[in-house]
Amino acid sequence: MFELLKEQPADKILMLMQAFREDPREQKIDLGVGVYKDAEGRTPIMRAIKTAEKQLWETETTKSYTGLAGDVGFADAMFGLLMGDAVPRNCVAAAATPGGTGAVRQGFDMIRMADREARVFVSDPSWPNHITMLKHLEMHMQPYRYFDSETRAVDFAGMMEDLADARVGDVVLLHGCCHNPTGANLNLSQWQEVIDLLVKNGVTPMIDIAYQGFGDGLDEDAAGLRMVVSQMPEVLVAASCSKNFGVYRERTGLLMAVAQDPVRQKANQGMLNHLNRQNFSFPPDHGARLVTMVLDDPALRADWEEEVREIREGVLGLREQLAAELQRLTGSDRFGFIAQHRGMFSRLGATPEQVEAMRQSHGVYMVGDSRINVAGLNAKTVPVLAEAMVAAGV
Ligand code: PLP
Ligand code: TYF
């Protein structure tokens, strides 16, 4: 039967990782996959996570199954981190998932269980896995305008115009912060306008948040999400711990369904448990337990918050350096957007030919849509990228 299977397109971001590894040049720069890297190009285990891991090794007495939704302590800790006091805890159903990807996938599955005809509105562009997962589930996908390729900021008028088509039964997928792949984000008054529109038309939001703390701060990056959950009757939230806790391969994420009352919460919890059971039974626990230990222990948490701050400020510094270097080389302010964007990514607005030219001439690897992972740079490679961009005519 295997001959019946059609070949599936490979993940372009992961293909780029491979191409980078195979490039023999010494002076090559990897701005591809969205993984944080320090100035030496390493993706370190965060200090607090390492400490929690040692403690866990000493104290863990069993690796028997947890519950279908994972450890409740993880859900409680993540609820606090994401939602603060924006909504009562007893209105929120939550289940641990294999990474943020698992959370997005389970969220889509839940939407499909509720309404096979639901349309999911997805920003154009978005994280490619949003689109491929919706396709895989045979769900209806409706792109909405998001990025203005002239200003490299959010095309807010276009976005609002497209979202005005969403109706009861439709879902609008929003990035909680640090939009992937563009780096362009809504400000709080724009979040409010989106909320007002969705409330007016009875549309359900789903928020994917994978970079909390990498933009402007842990609370700042959750501010839009908190406005949504405090004002809207039903919300899905898919959260990833991969980046902000640096636990990528542990596969640590959480899906939350926010409802109006504890009765609906109970039903939603049953649905999240059911979906976990259908797809993998019990979610991975190791990363979730480390995250819980870090969030619940004041000293570990303070150290983690400090390290997240160091990461965020490092990335912001690289943004400012790159924008300044391009200003110096071109005498123009048109690259100022790089310092305005937030999170690990920026879409530069180069053509695929220019992206290819930068790879050939300077060994700079970025995604074909000209998304760069800013964390892949350091003080020495920023001028190389700037030079490559100018040479390619970006
Ligand atoms: N959502 C977005 C927007 C992402 O960029 C990512 C990428 O890592 C994820 C979700 C999921 O990440 P993971 O499954 O590694 O937790
Ligand atoms: O966009 C990125 O680079 C990250 C990492 O299939 C990633 O979100 C990339 C591809 C993929 C899963 C995660």
User: The domain that contains 197 carries what CATH number?
Assistant: 3.40.640.10
CATH of the domain at 40: 3.90.1150.10
Residue 272: the pLDDT is 98
* The last residue of a domain, from among 279, 296, 313: 296
CA of 168 to the centre of ligand 2 (A): 31
Query: Is ipTM strictly over 0.90?
Result: yes
Can you tell me the mean pLDDT for 366-381? 96
Buried b (16+ CB within 10 A) or exposed e, 197-235: bbeeeebbbbbbbbbbbbbbbbeebbbbbbbbbebbebb
Is residue 58 situated within a structural domain?
no
Is residue 16 situated within a structural domain?
yes
- Residues 36, 166: one domain? no
Catalytic residue among 37, 94, 127, 375: 127
127 belongs to the catalytic site: yes
User: In ligand 1, which atom is closest to the CA atom of 98?
Assistant: 14
- Residues 241, 375: one domain? no
Can you tell me the mean pLDDT for 204-232? 98
CA of 129 to the centre of ligand 2 (A): 8
The pLDDT tens digits of the residues spanning 97-110 come to 999 999 999 999 99
- Residues 92, 23: one domain? no
| Ligand nearest the Cα atom of residue 101 | 1
Ligand 1, pocket-test mutation among 180, 254, 344, most atoms within 8 A of CB: 180
Catalytic residue among 155, 208, 221, 285: 208
Is residue 54 situated within a structural domain?
no
Residue 77: the pLDDT is 98
User: Considering only CA atoms, which residue is closest to atom 10 of ligand 1?
Assistant: 100
- Residues 88, 24: one domain? no
Mean residue pLDDT across the chain = 97
- Residues 138, 280: one domain? yes
Q: How far apart are CA 105 and CA 134, in angstroms?
A: 8
User: In ligand 1, which atom is closest to the CA atom of 208?
Assistant: 1
Count CB-CB contacts under 10 A for residue 187: 12
- Residues 285, 334: one domain? no
208 belongs to the catalytic site: yes
Beta-carbon contacts of residue 85 (< 8 Å; ≥ 6 apart): none
The pLDDT tens digits of the residues spanning 16-48 come to 989 999 999 999 999 999 999 999 999 999 999
Residue 174: the pLDDT is 98
Residue 353: the pLDDT is 96
Residue ranges making up the domain that contains 364: 10-45+305-392
The pLDDT tens digits of the residues spanning 271-306 come to 999 999 999 999 999 999 999 999 999 999 999 999
- Residues 92, 142: one domain? yes
The pLDDT tens digits of the residues spanning 243-278 come to 999 999 999 999 999 999 999 999 999 999 999 999
User: Both tokens of residue 183?
Assistant: 């780096």
The pLDDT tens digits of the residues spanning 110-161 come to 999 999 999 999 999 999 999 999 999 999 999 999 999 999 999 999 999 9
CA of 118 to the centre of ligand 2 (A): 26
Can you tell me the mean pLDDT for 51-74? 97
Can you tell me the mean pLDDT for 359-378? 96
User: Considering only CA atoms, which residue is closest to atom 4 of ligand 2?
Assistant: 34
210 belongs to the catalytic site: yes
Opening angle at CA 237, ends 52 and 10, nearest 5: 85
* The last residue of a domain, from among 272, 296, 320: 296
210 neighbors 107 (Cβ within 8 angstroms):
no
Pocket, ligand 2, Cβ cutoff 6 A:
11, 13-14, 33-34, 127, 129, 180
Is residue 59 situated within a structural domain?
no
The pLDDT tens digits of the residues spanning 302-351 come to 999 999 999 999 999 999 999 999 999 999 999 999 999 999 999 999 99
CA of 60 to the centre of ligand 2 (A): 31
CA of 227 to the centre of ligand 1 (A): 22
Is residue 1 situated within a structural domain?
no
* The last residue of a domain, from among 296, 317, 338: 296
- Residues 109, 132: one domain? yes
Q: How confident is the model at residue 72 (pLDDT cuts 50, 70, 90)?
A: very high
350 belongs to the catalytic site: no
Is residue 60 situated within a structural domain?
no
Is residue 245 situated within a structural domain?
yes
Ligand 1, pocket-test mutation among 240, 245, 255, 373, most atoms within 8 A of CB: 240
| Ligand nearest the Cα atom of residue 11 | 2
- Residues 332, 349: one domain? yes
Is residue 103 situated within a structural domain?
yes
- Residues 205, 178: one domain? yes
- Residues 113, 256: one domain? yes
CA of 205 to the centre of ligand 1 (A): 18
| Ligand nearest the Cα atom of residue 105 | 1
- Residues 75, 29: one domain? no
Catalytic residue among 93, 170, 239, 243: 243
CA of 133 to the centre of ligand 2 (A): 13
Domain count across the chain: 2
Catalytic residue among 210, 259, 323, 386: 210
